[in-house]
Amino acid sequence: MADGMKEQPKRSLSGLDVKPVYTPDDLAGTDFARDLGQPGEFPFTRGPYPNMYLGRLWTRRQIAGFGTAQATNERYRFLLDHGQNGISTDFDHPTLTGYDSDHELAEGEVGRLGVAIDSVRDMDDLFLDIPLDKVSVSLTINHPAIVLLGMFLSVSEQRGVDWSKLRGTVQNDSLKEFHGQKTFALGPGPSLKLTTDIVEFCTKHVPNWYTISISGYHIRECGSDAVQELAFTIAQGMAYVESALERGLPVDSFAPRLSFFFGCHNDVFEEVAKYRAARRMWARIMKDRYKASKPESMRLRFHTQTLGSTLMRQDPQNNIARGTLQALAAVLGGTQSLHVSGYDEAFDIPSEEAMRMSLATQLILSHESGVTNTVDPLAGSYFVESLTNEIEEAAWGYISKIEEMGSGEYPIKSGMLSAIDTGYIEREIARSAYEYQLRIESGEQVVVGLNQYQSEGAQKLELFQFDPEEEEWQKGRLAETRGGRSPADVKSALSSLKQAAVDDKNLMPTVLEAVGALATEGEMLDTMRDVYGEYVDPGVF
């Protein structure tokens, strides 16, 4: 068998050919000054900053959220006490999809995979005793982003924290919801409008806030390969830029506040190449295509989450090794912040022990591995540079296809809307997911413990214990909120919100008014669904 394996041409995880040896000939067309430049300089291939981790280590940002706001607030404080330096919120499915905790479809999911937020009162509890002007907060919310950000801004205001001091992120990547994560509420057009409302509002009133975290992570979790993850993420980013330009915002006014979010799989060099290609592509797109002039508009910065879908139930402690490899790749690729998924993720949301391990993985990489001692250590590798070029070229193939689906002054924006409507992106990803599964089932792709090297006897993990009473508690809290407010104020605020939607105005001012009147998330989203229509899963496979 060993002899037979030598005959096989090697491929990266995403199917790119990998040669046994790379030489200077592989970089014959590469101009190092033009294509790489110095770290912190255009086209930022080597990193967004000149000194990278020598200046400041990446932010250790483990996402967390479960049960009630109080329970999650305790976890945040645990993480902050154990070496974390940023907060990332995970909302439950009802919150992500814009339903209140007492909605029929919410049964069994309230607070289950994230924290339940129904009104601004819950948002206030979530950040109890956490200084909002000091800790950066990432709100992982998309179609209802305007409502949750509105609640967060309202809490900040009540605490006397000036909006200019807030330096968090709202995910607000509405387009990827149709082919990644799938927590959509509204159709592609209206949800893109809301994304752009946030960009516009924050550019004027919350200047240090990151307005969109343009996300490939969920696309990858849905089974795309690295090239598709890169291509669709960049295309989403271009669609947001075009939508903001169409709104009349100058490119350099909003582009510096866009950030990115990628996943990280097991193929170390392919992942590093993906991140480096992403930076170079974005820099050139922003400069050449959208005529940005500030370097901050061109330099791509990103958060990484190691992929839960790579984690196995079999021998779960093996997942610590997978998380370490993936985290290493993210750091070698120059990530600005990192979440290492819990080794028990194939069973449930992570236990405290698993999160402690994930943070330790990050700390060991930071302080023991030596990989942070120099900037972009893999630059100049014949293999990595060559793979970076190939991934970039392959990604452009998809982006050009999307552009061909569009028209007019903003062809990527219209092309993305059309690619979503026709199910093109969804089918491409589903095809990759299926092919990957077939490779695992045939044994062509080895997954240790799953299809080879299975061990006898299963380890029993101490898993996260969910408290089922929290759903009832949350429903009680919601009823209490509804009972303690002025119905006339709520009605009037929701009717203003509706009018703003009908008039195609920026919805943030009326959302803030409704938040202040203690309108619930579900009520605000229902108002929007009334005007824009509800998006229903087309069930493409």
CA distance linking residue 308 with residue 208, whole number of Å? 30
Report which of 179, 161, 109, 119 is spatially closest to residue 144, judged by C-alpha positions.
119
CA distance linking residue 402 with residue 178, whole number of Å? 15
* Shortest reach from residue 305's CB to other proteins, in Å: 15
Q: What is the dihedral of CA 155, 156, 159, 165, to 10 degrees?
A: 170
Q: Which is nearer to other proteins, 241 or 311 (CB)?
A: 311
Rg of the Cα trace of the chain?
23
CA distance linking residue 271 with residue 216, whole number of Å? 12
* Shortest reach from residue 101's CB to other proteins, in Å: 11
* Shortest reach from residue 334's CB to other proteins, in Å: 28
Report which of 412, 27, 481 is spatially closest to residue 238, judged by C-alpha positions.
412
Q: Which is nearer to other proteins, 113 or 379 (CB)?
A: 113
Tokens of 92: 């439950």
Q: Which is nearer to other proteins, 107 or 404 (CB)?
A: 107
Q: Which is nearer to other proteins, 400 or 437 (CB)?
A: 437
Crossing angle of helices 226-246 and 411-421, rounded to 10°? 120
Q: Which is nearer to other proteins, 374 or 455 (CB)?
A: 455
3-state secondary structure (DSSP) of residue 73:
helix
* Shortest reach from residue 106's CB to other proteins, in Å: 7
Q: How many Å separate Cα 464 from the centre of its chain?
A: 23
* Shortest reach from residue 352's CB to other proteins, in Å: 17
* Shortest reach from residue 430's CB to other proteins, in Å: 5
CA distance linking residue 171 with residue 165, whole number of Å? 19
* Shortest reach from residue 111's CB to other proteins, in Å: 10
Q: Which is nearer to other proteins, 114 or 168 (CB)?
A: 114
Q: Which is nearer to other proteins, 9 or 539 (CB)?
A: 539
Q: Which residues bind other proteins (CB under 8 A)?
A: 93-94, 96-97, 99, 104-109, 112-113, 181-183, 221-223, 309, 312-314, 346-349, 430, 433-434, 437, 440-441, 450, 458, 463, 466, 536-539, 541
* Shortest reach from residue 439's CB to other proteins, in Å: 12
CA distance linking residue 287 with residue 22, whole number of Å? 32
User: Is residue 148 packed enough to be buried (19+ CB in 10 Å), middle (13-18) or exposed (0-12)?
Assistant: buried
* Shortest reach from residue 437's CB to other proteins, in Å: 5
3-state secondary structure (DSSP) of residue 140:
strand
CA distance linking residue 494 with residue 250, whole number of Å? 31
Q: Report DSSP letters for 268-283, one per residue.
A: HHHHHHHHHHHHHHHH
CA distance linking residue 306 with residue 339, whole number of Å? 7
CA distance linking residue 177 with residue 474, whole number of Å? 26
How open is the CA angle 245-246-249, to the nearest 5 degrees?
40
Residue for token digits 């509706």? Answer: 498
Q: Which is nearer to other proteins, 179 or 498 (CB)?
A: 179
Q: Write down the number of H helices and E strands in the chain.
A: 21, 11
Phi and psi at 466, nearest 5°, equal -85, 135
Q: Which is nearer to other proteins, 98 or 333 (CB)?
A: 98
- The answer to whether residues 145 and 97 touch, using CB atoms and an 8 Å cutoff, is no
Residue for token digits 């050919």? Answer: 17
* Shortest reach from residue 115's CB to other proteins, in Å: 14
CA distance linking residue 404 with residue 199, whole number of Å? 26
Q: Which is nearer to other proteins, 288 or 467 (CB)?
A: 467
CA distance linking residue 275 with residue 9, whole number of Å? 25
Q: Which is nearer to other proteins, 319 or 481 (CB)?
A: 319
Q: Which is nearer to other proteins, 178 or 302 (CB)?
A: 178
- The answer to whether residues 106 and 94 touch, using CB atoms and an 8 Å cutoff, is yes
Q: Which is nearer to other proteins, 72 or 196 (CB)?
A: 72
- The answer to whether residues 529 and 185 touch, using CB atoms and an 8 Å cutoff, is yes
